């Protein structure tokens, strides 16, 4: 009986474990392996270089640039969709007319692929006939021809706007679900006690939205770490690496400059950063279980 | 502390009329209970008093202030919800002090009031706990404490005991009665439970389908229900309602023939409007029924079911050859048994007479 159970456990768990091993663990182990070589990505020979790649990373100006951009990217991805999503959720939950329609509209971008979203915003930022410049021209009365995506000062931020626009719907939906879970009585009790709406938000709604907030923040961070395709479509990391993030930097070094060993080392650093963030997230999640049923 | 005056108040949700013209005056310090079946509009009326629900027409005044169009904060009421509505992320004392803190009350004053409420409700040992760590009864006490600390003009309770189990409900009922005695504030209490209404109220307001059926002291309503609805709603088990017919009416002297039963003569106040041949309903409380040996009594009956409640016995009686059942509440010493053939005797002074309009006809004292 006992061995029977064990047999089926093994049989049933084997396929997913095999897939996970083959497509996650193996490549992961491979990146660790390549990260201590000078492999170029296709040749048969690769020499062991020890921690040389890592030493190089921490002296590479492009890496520092990518780290700073990644930090900006992540901070923006954290703050903008979360804030906008929360504001929209509060607004739509307060029973404004047509809330259902607006929920769908704001959620729509999430259903689009990043490539499509990127293309939409390329058109919006297009210097000559893009929506943004057309609007600015109309508002100011002067011809406005700024190349948002082609200027180092604005490229990263333009992509951040596009990215936030897409991610806001997701945050909104999660916050809306969180709001629905707050009993109406709680806010009515506060209302009878003469607590102003803004104080209800800060003292009741936000604390009670903590579980939803943790989910939104975690998703924002994880998505922002994965947020490679929209950058690739809109700027490709340019101009002059001004919108390079770690993922973009890794891609460039590995596949454009044929430094697979160096690229793997960057991916290892990215992996460690991701792991740290996820670790913090789970600790936070556990703390919350102790407060809420 | 203030009185509450409700004048010609109505409430419609869309096209549906929920409160259909309510007039009420609740004097300062009174414990008023709104009672009625589920869905009759008790909560809606209470929420209109609190300001949480808008008033479709009519006026509501608390003390000297017309609060009809004011937001809840300006009414000076405090509300205790059926769900307790405690903030899960705050401790007991934070829950109780929340309203005061948010409105910038001085710290010392907040502490004094929370301490006072905790003493009244015996919550002193629990002040640092979270709601999650409390039992249902304790949670409800915190919810009441949150109302007390605000020193409201009027306390509003919406079925505060419905989520508690039976024994705790009785215990909390006593505590609420004690609370009212101790602080003497005006309280309006909503319940669908007629026992809560009878035991707690200075005055009961019976609501049905958005209208006031009758207002009066518990004893008033029990002894002199104004209509069939109130007669049937208050009292456990319910009043027996028997079909009957006016046999003869001569001024205030009226004789009534009970279907399958005796001819009863009684005296009704002038203006009863009953004429010979007119159908009426006779109401009789289960505890006003006497069982007699078959042959002696006026109305033969068989005992179908007997329920022993300890100090008393509930007997379900059937009139032979009819679908009518009558419930009697008897002394435990009555020795009634299933299958007994007996006869029903009425205590005539305790009979209630209702016309076809459902309204009670006033009995004159000493009528036989
Ligand atoms: N916001 C609302 N919109 C529409 N109908 C409502 C609303 N609130 C209550 N009602 C209706 O009003 C009636 C009375 O409700 P309520 O006052 O809660 O009854 P009670 O408290 O006596 O059980 C019910 O039929 C209920 O469905
Ligand atoms: Mg109700």
pLDDT, tens digit, 9 for 90 and up, residues A267-278: 899 889 888 888
Instruction: Determine the distance separating the centroid of ligand 1 and the alpha carbon of B191, expressed in angstroms.
Output: 14
* HEC assignment per residue over B151-193: CCCEEEEECCCCCCCHHHHHHHHHHHHHHHHHHCCEEEEEECC
B335 CB within 6 A, ligand 1: no
The three-class DSSP label of residue B137 is helix
> What is the pLDDT confidence band of residue B367, given thresholds at 50, 70 and 90?
very low
Asked whether residue A4 falls in the same domain as residue A111, the answer is no
Taking CB atoms and an 8 Å cutoff, what residues of chain A touch B75? Answer: 192
Q: Does B50 touch chain A (CB under 8 A)?
A: yes
Asked whether residue A18 falls in the same domain as residue A42, the answer is no
Reported as a single tens digit per residue, the pLDDT across A186-230 is 999 999 999 999 999 999 999 999 889 988 988 888 788 777 888
* HEC assignment per residue over chain A: CHHHHHHHHHHHHHHHHHHHHHHHHHHHHHHHHHCCECCCCCCCCCCECCCHHHHHHCCCHHHHHHHHHHHHHHHHHHHHHHHHHHHHHHHHHCCCCCHHHHHHHHHHHHHCCHHHHHHHHHHHHCCCCCHHHHHHHHHHCCCCCCCHHHCCCCHHHHHHHHHHHHHHHHHHHHHHHHHHCCCHHHHHHHHHCCCCHHHHHHHHHHHHCHHHHHHHHHHHHHHHHHCCHHHHHHCCCCCCCCCCCHHHHHHHHHHHCCCHHHHHHHHHHHHHHHHHHHHHHHHHHHHHHCCCC
Asked whether residue A128 falls in the same domain as residue A79, the answer is yes
User: Where in chain B do CATH 3.40.50.300 domains reside?
Assistant: 4-232
Q: What is the mean pLDDT of chain B?
A: 91
For residue A254, give both structure tokens: 């590995």
Domain count, chain A: 2
Taking CB atoms and an 8 Å cutoff, what residues of chain A touch B72? Answer: 188, 191-192, 194
* Cβ count within 10 A of residue A111: 10
Query: Is A194–B81 a contact, with Cβ atoms under 8 angstroms apart?
Result: no
Asked whether residue A68 falls in the same domain as residue A17, the answer is no
Taking CA atoms, B127 is separated from A90, A192, B92, B164, B182, in Å, by 32, 22, 5, 21, 22
CATH code: domain B4-232 is: 3.40.50.300
**Can you tell me the mean pLDDT for B29-44?**
95
Closest CB to B85: pick one of A186, A194, A203: A186
* pLDDT cut 90: percent of chain A above it: 26
Closest approach of chain A CAs to the CA of B208, in angstroms? Answer: 25
Instruction: Determine the distance separating the centroid of ligand 1 and the alpha carbon of B324, expressed in angstroms.
Output: 35
Residue B251 has pLDDT above 50, yes or no: yes
B38 CB within 6 A, ligand 1: yes
The atom of ligand 1 lying closest to the CA of B41 is 17
Reported as a single tens digit per residue, the pLDDT across A92-113 is 888 788 888 888 888 888 888 8
User: Where in chain B do CATH 2.40.50.140 domains reside?
Assistant: 237-365
Give me the sheet containing B325-331, strands edge to edge. B289-293, B341-346, B299-308, B312-318, B325-331
Q: What is the pLDDT of residue A292?
A: 58
**ipTM score over 0.90, yes or no:** no
Pick from A52, A58, A59: which is nearest to A35 by CA?
A52
Q: What is the pLDDT of residue A241?
A: 80
> What CA–CA distance (Å, rounded) separates B207 from B187?
17
For residue A11, give both structure tokens: 């049989």
Taking CA atoms, B13 is separated from A185, A188, B7, in Å, by 19, 19, 19
Residue B368 has pLDDT above 50, yes or no: no
Angle, helices B92-102/B107-120, rounded to nearest 10 degrees: 140
The angle at the Cα of B94, spanning B91 to B100, to the nearest 5 degrees, equals 165
Lowest mean pLDDT among A116-120, A277-281, B242-246: A277-281
Residue B198 has pLDDT above 60, yes or no: yes
Q: Does A291 touch chain B (CB under 8 A)?
A: yes
Q: Does A199 touch chain B (CB under 8 A)?
A: yes
Asked whether residue A145 falls in the same domain as residue A13, the answer is no
**Alpha helices, DSSP H, located in chain B:** 42-50, 92-102, 107-120, 136-148, 166-183, 194-200, 218-223, 228-233
Asked whether residue A7 falls in the same domain as residue A64, the answer is no
Q: Does A207 touch chain B (CB under 8 A)?
A: yes
Asked whether residue A281 falls in the same domain as residue A253, the answer is yes
Closest approach of chain A CAs to the CA of B74, in angstroms? Answer: 7
Asked whether residue A131 falls in the same domain as residue A258, the answer is yes
Q: Does B78 touch chain A (CB under 8 A)?
A: yes
Asked whether residue A6 falls in the same domain as residue A130, the answer is no
**Which residue segment(s) compose the domain that A51 sits in?**
35-292
Please tell me whether the overall predicted TM-score, pTM, comes out greater than 0.90 for this model. no
Asked whether residue A184 falls in the same domain as residue A261, the answer is yes
Fold of B237-365: OB fold (Dihydrolipoamide Acetyltransferase, E2P) (2.40.50)
Asked whether residue A209 falls in the same domain as residue A275, the answer is yes
Pick from A241, A218, A239, A228: which is nearest to A118 by CA?
A228
Asked whether residue A139 falls in the same domain as residue A240, the answer is yes
> What is the pLDDT confidence band of residue B366, given thresholds at 50, 70 and 90?
low
Reported as a single tens digit per residue, the pLDDT across B130-147 is 999 999 999 999 999 999
For residue B309, give both structure tokens: 């409640």
Q: What is the pLDDT of residue A1?
A: 59
């Amino acid at each position: 009986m006992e061995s029977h159970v064990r047999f089926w456990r093994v049989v049933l768990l084997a396929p997913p474990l095999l897939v996970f091993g083959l497509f996650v663990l193996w490549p992961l182990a491979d990146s660790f392996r390549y990260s201590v070589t000078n492999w170029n990505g296709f040749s048969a020979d690769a020499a062991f270089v020890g921690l040389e790649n890592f030493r190089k990373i921490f002296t590479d100006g492009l890496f520092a640039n990518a780290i700073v951009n990644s930090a900006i990217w992540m901070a923006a991805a954290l703050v903008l969709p979360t804030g906008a999503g929360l504001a929209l959720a509060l607004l739509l939950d307060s029973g404004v007319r047509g809330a259902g329609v607006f929920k769908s509209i704001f959620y729509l971008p999430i259903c689009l692929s990043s490539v499509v979203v990127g293309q939409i915003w390329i058109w919006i930022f297009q210097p000559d006939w893009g929506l943004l410049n057309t609007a600015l021209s109309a508002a100011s009365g002067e011809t406005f021809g700024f190349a948002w995506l082609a200027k180092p000062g604005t490229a990263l931020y333009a992509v951040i706007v596009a990215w936030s626009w897409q991610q806001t719907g997701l945050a909104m939906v999660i916050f809306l679900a969180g709001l629905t879970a707050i009993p109406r009585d709680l806010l009515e009790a506060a209302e009878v006690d003469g607590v102003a709406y803004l104080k209800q938000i800060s003292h009741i709604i936000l604390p009670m939205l903590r579980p939803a907030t943790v989910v939104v923040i975690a998703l924002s961070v994880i998505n922002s770490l994965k947020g490679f395709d929209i950058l690739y479509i809109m700027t490709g990391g340019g101009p002059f690496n001004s919108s390079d993030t770690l993922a973009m930097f890794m891609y460039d070094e590995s596949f454009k400059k044929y430094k697979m060993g160096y690229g793997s080392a960057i991916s290892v650093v990215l992996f460690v950063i991701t792991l740290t963030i996820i670790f913090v997230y789970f600790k936070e999640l556990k703390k919350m279980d102790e407060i809420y049923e | 502390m203030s009185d509450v005056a409700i004048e010609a108040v109505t409430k419609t949700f869309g096209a549906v009329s929920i409160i259909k013209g309510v007039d009420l005056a609740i004097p300062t310090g009174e414990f008023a209970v709104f009672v009625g079946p589920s869905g009759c509009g008790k909560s809606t009326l209470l929420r209109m008093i609190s300001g949480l629900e808008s008033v479709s027409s009519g006026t509501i005044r608390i003390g000297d202030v017309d609060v009809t169009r004011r937001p809840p904060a300006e009414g000076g009421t405090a509300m205790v919800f059926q769900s307790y509505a405690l903030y899960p992320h705050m401790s007991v004392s934070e829950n109780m002090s929340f309203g005061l803190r948010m409105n910038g009350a001085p710290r010392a004053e907040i502490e004094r009031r929370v301490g006072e409420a905790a003493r009244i409700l015996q919550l002193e040992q629990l002040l640092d706990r979270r709601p999650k760590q409390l039992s249902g009864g304790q949670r409800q006490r915190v919810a009441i404490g949150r109302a007390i600390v605000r020193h409201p003009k009027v306390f509003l309770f919406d079925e505060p005991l419905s989520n508690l189990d039976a024994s705790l409900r009785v215990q909390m009922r006593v505590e609420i009665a004690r609370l009212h005695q101790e602080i003497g504030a005006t309280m309006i209490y909503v319940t669908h439970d007629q026992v809560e209404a009878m035991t707690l109220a200075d005055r009961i307001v019976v609501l049905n389908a958005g209208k006031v059926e009758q207002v009066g002291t518990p004893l008033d309503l029990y002894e002199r229900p104004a209509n069939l609805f109130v007669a049937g709603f208050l009292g456990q088990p319910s009043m027996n309602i028997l079909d009957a017919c006016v046999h003869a009416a001569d001024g205030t002297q009226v004789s009534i023939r009970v279907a399958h039963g005796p001819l009863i003569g009684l005296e009704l106040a002038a203006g009863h409007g009953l004429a010979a041949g007119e159908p009426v309903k006779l109401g009789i409380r289960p505890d006003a029924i006497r069982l007699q040996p078959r042959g002696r009594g006026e109305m033969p009956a068989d005992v179908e079911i007997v329920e022993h409640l300890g100090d008393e016995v509930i007997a379900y009686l059937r009139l032979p050859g009819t679908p009518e059942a009558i419930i009697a509440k008897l002394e435990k010493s009555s020795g009634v048994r299933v299958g007994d053939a007996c006869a029903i005797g009425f205590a005539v002074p305790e009979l209630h007479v209702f016309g076809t309009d459902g309204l009670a006809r006033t009995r004159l004292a000493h009528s036989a």
